[in-house]
Structure 1
Amino acid sequence: MSVDHETGVRLKSEADEPGWEVDPDDDWGVAVVATVGRQLRLRREAVGMRAAELGTATGYGEDLIYKIESGKRIPRPEFLDKADEVLGAGGLLSAMKEDVAKVRYPKKVRALGKLEAKAVEIGVYECNIIAGLLQTPEHARAVIEAAQPPYSPDDVERMVAARLARQSVFDRDPAPSIHFVLEEAPLRRQVGGTMVWRRQLEHLLEVGRLRNVTLQVMPTNTEAHPGLDGRIELLKFPDGTAVGRSDGAFSGRPITDPKQLRILELRYGTIRAQAFSPRESLAFTEQLLGET
């Protein structure tokens, strides 16, 4: 951290908040961050405040203020609130927090979350991990930290936050119908250690008992099924349209063609038919939890 020589206050620098640059390929994100930066600079200049003075008032170094104003950094929500207060912006800067928060999430994750937020029916089959919509924060962090080459600590937090933000789908009213099929093997893998694993199993039981959620487990000791090529996700919308994606079909790209969707629906339906029933799946998960 740098230090304001007049006040002795320690100010945050890039070393303290690394990795929050906007993705240059994310056109919407670039536009949002540029707009926020421009408004910040205009408000600062309107009240006759230097960048260093705004930095001292918000706990940021002058370098970070200039980075944010030039659209090269994604500002944190608490910074926008403090800057709004210091500059007397009347809520203008604070009001940008929602869009800025979305920019923090990777473009692909944001697009998926947007689709899930509109869907009236969601079907997910996962073969190697516990579905992201079902992961606890600790489990998600352990999975993301296992990547090679490793992500920076700040990028890990960014990705965890993005994954958890998608779980707002469970809070929607009216609630969508959500179906999950998970393989047995990932449920037995103690990702993050015993306590993290136990909490993950408890969370699966909590979500699996929700009125609008169906959770099924595919036992390891079973015949081959259409999900061996990878995950499948199917989303259906109020207007009757749908989108699907499968690691093992159509080059893994999202599809909307009715004929292709029927193929994914057939595969997903077969997987559900071969898996344990929802009641058996909850009992199986309780059994796993009891073995710890």
Structure 2
Amino acid sequence: MTAVDGDAVRLIGEAEEPGWEVDPDDEWGVAVLTTVGRQLRLRREAAGMRAGDFGKAVGYGEDLVYKIEGGKRIPRREYLIKADEVLNAGGLIAAAWEDVKKVRYPKKVRELAKLEAQAVEIGVYECNIIAGLLQTPEHARAMIKAAQPPYSPDDVERMVAARLARQSVFERDPAPSLHFVLEEAPLRRQVGGTMVWRKQLERLLEAGQLHNVTLQVMPTDTEAHPGLDGRIELLKFPDGTAVGRSDGAFGGRPTHDPKQLRILELRYGTIRAQALPPRESLAFIEQLLGET
């Protein structure tokens, strides 16, 4: 809320606060927002407040109040906290943020994060970018901002948050085994400027020194290898099952099929064999860092 001309209050309205739309195909997300919106409306009505008055009290326009209560918009944390205070909900409305914050992330990202959180082994080969699990916030933001047509500032922050949320995999105990193979070219691309690039290289060195992480670099002057047509990701789970995906195989769709997984494992194993060993890879990144 921003005060204007002393007593007047400028509310956050439709034009100023576009908010976040929920994907209509995201059944879980729609259910969460519908439930939270209904509880907000019932508590507001029980308190005898009209939507316009409630909007003024929380600092939002009446149009957004109706959309949030109708499950059409993803409320921000600040909205839920303020609504909790205005409606004397004793923390029950504010607590809804634990579920609402997950809806911010696209369905596909949530599903990937869920799989990564369960995996005991993750193998990733990236050919055009630095793997999302290894990106710094600044690097991720610069990458997402470079998209055409451009995303709105709100969507950029939403996507950055989603990407960083996946990195909780590094905090798991017991730690999963993580393997990364990155091409040399993206490592040399100064995404976001020199300082952002340096921080990204430092992050790679930091991750590569973790006991459960293997980081390798594929030099540009190497022979042709099976990853030239796109990224590969392999995830293995405690029960012995696995899932894999490759841009250049099986239509790019995730697969659980044992025969297809063996093909991806063969390709990934060949890529790892052709890349620099982990120690030489870290030395290579240190050399890049020293050239700045």
TM bucket normalised to smaller? over 0.9
Deviates more, 1:94-103 or 1:129-138: 94-103
State the partner residue of 2:69: 69
State the partner residue of 1:58: 58
State the partner residue of 1:244: 244
**SS in structure 1 at match of 2:73:** coil
- Post-superposition shift, 1:7? 4.3
State the partner residue of 1:96: 96
State the partner residue of 1:222: 222
Gaps of 5+ in 1: none
State the partner residue of 2:87: 87
Mapped to 1, the partners of 2:236 and 2:161 lie a distance apart of 25
Deviates more, 1:184-193 or 1:23-32: 23-32
Mapped to 2, the partners of 1:184 and 1:230 lie a distance apart of 15
Mapped to 2, the partners of 1:178 and 1:58 lie a distance apart of 45
Q: Is the 8 A contact 1:19 1:152 kept in 2?
A: no
Mapped to 1, the partners of 2:13 and 2:252 lie a distance apart of 41
Mapped to 1, the partners of 2:7 and 2:177 lie a distance apart of 56
- Post-superposition shift, 1:4? 9.2
Distance 1:285 1:6, change over 3 A: closer
**SS in structure 1 at match of 2:20:** coil
**SS in structure 2 at match of 1:9:** strand
Matching residue's letter, 1:138: E
State the partner residue of 2:276: 276
Q: Does 1:112 align with 2:142?
A: no
Matching residue's letter, 2:51: A
**TM value normalised by structure 2:** 0.96
- Post-superposition shift, 1:223? 0.6
**SS in structure 1 at match of 2:129:** coil
Q: Is the 8 A contact 2:176 2:212 kept in 1?
A: yes
Mapped to 2, the partners of 1:96 and 1:7 lie a distance apart of 32
Q: Does 1:162 align with 2:166?
A: no
- Post-superposition shift, 1:237? 0.8
Gaps of 5+ in 2: none
Task: Tell me how many residue pairs correspond in the alignment.
Answer: 292
Q: C-alpha deviations, 1:234-281, integer Å up to 9, x for none?
A: 001111111000001111100001111111111111111111111111
- Post-superposition shift, 1:16? 2.4
Mapped to 2, the partners of 1:3 and 1:193 lie a distance apart of 37
Mapped to 2, the partners of 1:15 and 1:213 lie a distance apart of 45
Deviates more, 1:18-27 or 1:110-119: 18-27
Mapped to 2, the partners of 1:10 and 1:283 lie a distance apart of 55
Deviates more, 1:13-22 or 1:107-116: 13-22
Q: Does 1:190 align with 2:203?
A: no
State the partner residue of 1:40: 40
- Post-superposition shift, 1:194? 0.8
Mapped to 1, the partners of 2:61 and 2:6 lie a distance apart of 13
Distance 1:3 1:55, change over 3 A: farther
Mapped to 1, the partners of 2:19 and 2:48 lie a distance apart of 30
